[in-house]
Amino acid sequence: EEDSELITPSEPFPTYQTFAFQTEIKRGRFSIVRQCREKVTGKTLAAKIIPYWQEDKQTVLLEYLVLRKLHHTNIAQLKGAYISPRHLVLIQEMCVGPELLHSLALRTSYSEVEVRDYLWQILSAIEYLHAHNILHLDLRSENIIVTEPNLLKLLDFGNAQFYTQDKVIIMDKCMDYVETMAPELLTEQGALPQTDIWSVGITAFIMLSANYPVSSDVPCEFLRVARKGKVKLTRCYAGLSGGAVSFLQSTLCANPWGRPSASECLQSPWLQETGLDNRQQALVTFPTTKLRNFLTEREKKRGLLCSKYGLMVAQ
């Protein structure tokens, strides 16, 4: 086995923890996630194993540096971390449940109120991140898990960055996910807090339409359409409230400076609504057949990407 060491944060973890690695949970382009057990307590946790080359060590460590600062109900909690000459291992709380869109697709229908409740949880986590000058920058629905009872957890901070106003953050990962990327990333203007808001808008649009706002996955065509500055709400389900429409239009503004902050989103009338209007919105439901078809097509594309690039596995 490789020599490894426990990474020591500014505030050390309570004890030196030893883990037994078990079943593989998920595999991606840059990491593998395995179930693990803390030997002393028997507690089940998740281990994200990230292979790296020495020249990339500082870049890989950034995910650890971000996660160790975070303590929020809607963010998977870091429990420990180990590093060896070839791997970084992040030990996190085990989040059991389907991905956000799959959790909706498992039902026969869902309402605008349920979508709103999920968005509130996502934005609560984003508000917390931005208050700590952290950008997530990969807020695709695949990185959001629904645990019981309907509690959301944000995962995968592999693209996360510390943000300052004088820092230009250029993204060179996941350029294949063009349909979810903010216009400012595709034009290499750099990421901003509003970039995460665009991602929230994309997730909201999908939940309220089972479609992307712009279907083209060709960067130049996507930019041409996105720069027109108006989202075509004809793709959305019938019966959306005015608040939902306003939310989509504001979060999917092509100009990042025209988008609201996470705090402003949380204070928007739509996310604050209660009473009669809330009950009326609950009566409008969206069948999930279209969403299931959307997910099937998306998984096909993801499968092609995996075949194209291969999976980053620990050797």
Q: What is the pLDDT of residues 87-128, one digit of tens each?
A: 999 999 999 999 999 999 999 999 999 999 999 999 999 999
In the chain, the DSSP E strands lie at: 5-6, 19-27, 32-38, 44-51, 78-83, 87-93, 109-111, 134-135, 144-147, 151-154, 161-162, 285-287
Q: What helix, strand, coil percent values describe the chain, rounded to 5?
A: 40, 20, 40
Residue 314, in any domain of the structure: no
Is 50 in the same domain as 111?
no
How many separate domains does the chain show? 2
CATH number at residue 161: 1.10.510.10
Q: What is the pLDDT of residue 1?
A: 46
| Distance in angstroms (rounded) separating the CA atoms of residues 3 and 87 | 10
Q: Which among 51, 73, 93 is the end of a domain?
A: 93
Q: Is 190 a residue whose pLDDT tops 60?
A: yes
For residue 255, with 0-12 CB atoms within 10 Å meaning exposed, 13-18 middle and 19 or more buried, which class applies? exposed
Q: How confident is the model at residue 312 (pLDDT cuts 50, 70, 90)?
A: very low
In terms of residue numbers, what domain contains 19? 5-93
Q: What is the pLDDT of residues 157-176, one digit of tens each?
A: 999 999 988 777 877 655 55
Q: Which among 75, 93, 111 is the end of a domain?
A: 93
Cβ of 176: how many Cβ atoms within 10 Å?
16
- What integer is the mean pLDDT of 269-284? 72
> In the structure, how many helices (H) and strands (E) does the chain have?
11, 12
Is 271 in the same domain as 144?
yes
Average pLDDT score over the chain = 85
Q: What is the pLDDT of residues 130-152, one digit of tens each?
A: 999 999 999 999 999 999 889 99
| Distance in angstroms (rounded) separating the CA atoms of residues 60 and 81 | 12
Quickly tell me which residue has 């709380």 as its tokens.
93
Q: Which among 31, 62, 93 is the end of a domain?
A: 93
Q: What is the pLDDT of residues 70-93, one digit of tens each?
A: 999 999 999 999 888 889 999 999
| Entry pTM | 0.88
Residue 291, in any domain of the structure: no
CB 214 within 8 Å of CB 248: no
